[in-house]
Amino acid sequence: MGASASLISRHVPVFASSEAYPASQADDGSYDTTWRSNGPAWIAFDLSHVPAAKRGKVLVVWYNATFNYDHTIVNDVAYNMPEDYTLEANPAQGGGSPPKSGWVTLVTVKGNHYHSRQHVIDLGKDNWLRLNITAIDGSDDNEDANINIDVYSADAGTEGDWIFYGDSITAGSMGTNTLDGVPLFAQLIHEKAPAYFPVQEDGGIGYLTSGDGLKHLKDWLQLFPGKYVALSYGTNDAEGCVDPQTFYNNYVGMTKIVLAARKVPVIPHIPWGRAPNIQQCGPALNAKIDALYKAFPQIIKGPDLWAFFQQHQALISDDNIHPTDEGAGQYREQWANTMLKEVYKVKS
């Protein structure tokens, strides 16, 4: 599967200009705990004890718990997301408090409305990394920074990097929070393939169809430096009984966009649901997914979520569409188990 970036920030010394929740919770290994500030603030990592060979080029990724990847697309609210920020480096000696001067800006972001972001930067011989947040995208009583942060060595590349685009089922299942005792996708992979701890983002947005994915995908991919692009649309298409050929054409368009970006599309079957339109129209859409597999052998086949939930119908909630909390955890397990076989070549 190629090179895999290695996580280098776990439990390094971390400092923040304000702490409603401790700064150490940003990199403590639990994605259910976070650093939360009091308003705009900075957080700084002392990477001086990380071997220099592992902190030249690095990948910085931060995660926030807002539900939708880009809440503005569906006119939803955000909670404690960095909106304006810089990533800064400093060569000062580590082992003490963060330096007060000498910071050099490497990345500047204005007007961010995504709940997670990745940045590849060159630290050279710098010992310190700082995320300096100057504006928050939030809502009432949620106008602080509230995030986890990972820093990976990227000198060997970013091929072990995933993003999961999709609808509300993806948004609710592929984030970094623990779901009914099931950890995030990256941890599930690491448990069975210890040499890997993938980078992952949840690109799910509620209500979106395959047509919406086609509309936005090219812009989204400009923000994603990694390799594997999961495309999990179809439930809302089935609910609307979208013409199967239109659905197929949308997926062809998305697949071509991913391939043109020199990335790898990963596409599952849409999940089974009890809703009448999903029952009536879903099978024809999944038949088009099968046709897509034949037309584009570059696609990695994702999990057969129709077969799985049809066999485990109690994992679908009373709305007849979305998985229960247990079902969302099992959805995540299906993704991990399938990718362990297809990508990481781990035998069950």
Residue 1 within any structural domain of the chain: no
Give a yes or no: residue 347 inside a domain. Answer: no
**pLDDT number for residue 348:** 64
Distance of alpha carbon 286 from alpha carbon 248, whole angstroms: 10
> What token pair was written down for 93?
């000696």
Compute φ and ψ for 279, nearest 5 degrees: -60, -40
Last-in-domain residue among 92, 127, 153: 153
Statement to judge: residues 255 and 334 lie in one domain: yes
**137 and 199 co-located in one domain:** no
DSSP string spanning 105-137? EEEEE-S--BSEEEEEEE-TT--EEEEEEEEEE
Residue 348: inside a domain? no
Give this prediction's pTM. 0.97
- Based on its alpha-carbon atoms, the radius of gyration of the chain, rounded to whole angstroms, reads 20
With H, G, I as helix, E, B as strand and everything else as coil, classify residue 254: helix
Closest among 128, 117, 159 to 3, alpha carbons compared: 159
**Rounded to whole angstroms, how far apart are CA atoms 104 and 129?**
10
| Angle at alpha carbon of residue 95, lines to 94 and 101, rounded to 5° | 45
Class of residue 163 by CB neighbours under 10 A (exposed 0-12, middle 13-18, buried 19+): buried
Number of domain units in the chain: 2
List the domain range (segments joined by +) for residue 301. 161-342
The pLDDT value given to residue 3:
46
pLDDT at res. 242: 98
Same domain, 97 and 28: yes
Q: How far is CA 83 from the centre of its chain?
A: 18
187/59 same-domain check: no
d(CA 154, CA 199): 11
Q: What is the pLDDT along the chain (348 residues), one digit of tens a residue?
A: 444 568 999 999 999 999 999 999 999 999 999 999 999 999 999 999 999 999 999 999 999 999 999 999 999 999 999 999 999 999 999 999 999 999 999 999 999 999 999 999 999 999 999 999 999 999 999 999 999 999 999 987 888 999 999 999 999 999 999 999 999 999 999 999 999 999 999 999 999 999 999 999 999 999 999 999 999 999 999 999 999 999 999 999 999 999 999 999 999 999 999 999 999 999 999 999 999 999 999 999 999 999 999 999 999 999 999 999 999 999 999 999 999 999 999 976
Q: Which uninterrupted H or E stretch holds 332?
A: helix 325-342
Q: What is the pLDDT of residue 347?
A: 79
Nearest to 147 by CA among 62, 45, 20: 62
> Tell me, what's the pLDDT at 4?
57
Do 42 and 135 lie in one domain? The reply is: yes
- Hunting for tokens 């992952």 — which residue is that? 200
What CATH number does residue 301 fall under? 3.40.50.1110
**Contact status, residue 164 vs residue 203, Cβ threshold 8 Å:** yes
| Domain CATH code at residue 132 | 2.60.120.260
> Could you report the per-residue pLDDT of 62-107, keeping only the tens digit for each?
999 999 999 999 999 999 999 999 999 999 999 999 999 999 999 9
Domain end marker among 153, 175, 203: 153
